[in-house]
Amino acid sequence: MRLFLAINLPAPIRRDIRAATAPMRNATQERRTVKWLDDDHLHITLKFLGDQPDESVGALRDALSAAVTPHAAFTLDVGGLGAFPNLHAPRVVWMGVSHDPKLELLQHDVERACASLGYPLDGRAFRPHITLGRTRERVVPDDARAIATAARGVRFAATAQAHSVDVMQSELGPHGARQTVLASIPLAGAA
């Protein structure tokens, strides 16, 4: 099964993000160069694990419980748009999540817990974001300009409570990926 670890956002925030970013989706609707994600797929990925055996979920849950439960629930600031590598040649279009020491420490401890189970450490710096869409091929300049122009017009800022780290399964299908929470490890004081 294809696994990743994430902080899932509350449904109202996901709907608000989708509504606020509609101009960006509309800007590329004609050529469909960007595969925009449904609002139920909007989350903050802490670590992507890829294809793993079914029995790995229990060990992940146990290791994450020890690493995550000492962390207190906290508030995330969400807003701002960008792309990797940039809006002029987007491969991944995202909404930003403010760098917060609490989030950074949580992600670090998630990374350490995974390393204790033999998963490779990610050598890249953690750049918290919410993926909005991905491109399958190089975006033509007209679409890149349209996305960048639409992004400049989006005004969105919100706060969301980080209350758990979720072990997620992503099942690829003909109509896109279906994501399922396999285990949820609550942060201290989460309601």
Identify which of 45, 14, 55 has the alpha carbon closest to the alpha carbon of residue 182: 55
**Cβ-contact 55, 153 below 8 angstroms:** no
Please write the tens of the pLDDT for every residue from 13-58.
999 999 999 999 888 877 778 899 999 999 999 999 999 999 999 9
Q: Which of 46-50, 120-124, 171-175, 177-181 has the highest mean pLDDT?
A: 46-50
In the predicted model, what is the mean pLDDT of residues 145-168?
A: 94
Residue 98 pLDDT: 94
- The CATH number of the domain holding residue 120 is 3.90.1140.10
Domain with 82 in it: 2-186
Is residue 162 pLDDT above 80, yes or no?
yes
pLDDT of residue 138: 82
Are 92 and 123 spatial neighbours (Cβ–Cβ below 8 Å)? no
Do residues 108 and 125 lie in contact, with contact meaning Cβ atoms separated by under 8 Å? no
Residues 6+ apart with CB under 8 A from 82: 93, 94, 96, 129, 151
Q: Is there a domain that residue 191 lies in?
A: no
Q: How many domains does the chain have?
A: 1
Tokens of 181: 């929470």
pLDDT digits (tens, 9 = 90+) for 62-116: 999 999 999 999 999 999 999 999 988 899 999 999 999 999 999 999 999 999 9
Phi/psi of residue 57, nearest 5 degrees: -65, -45
Tell the residue number behind the tokens 């279906």, with chain if given: 178
Is residue 84 one of the residues assigned to a domain? yes
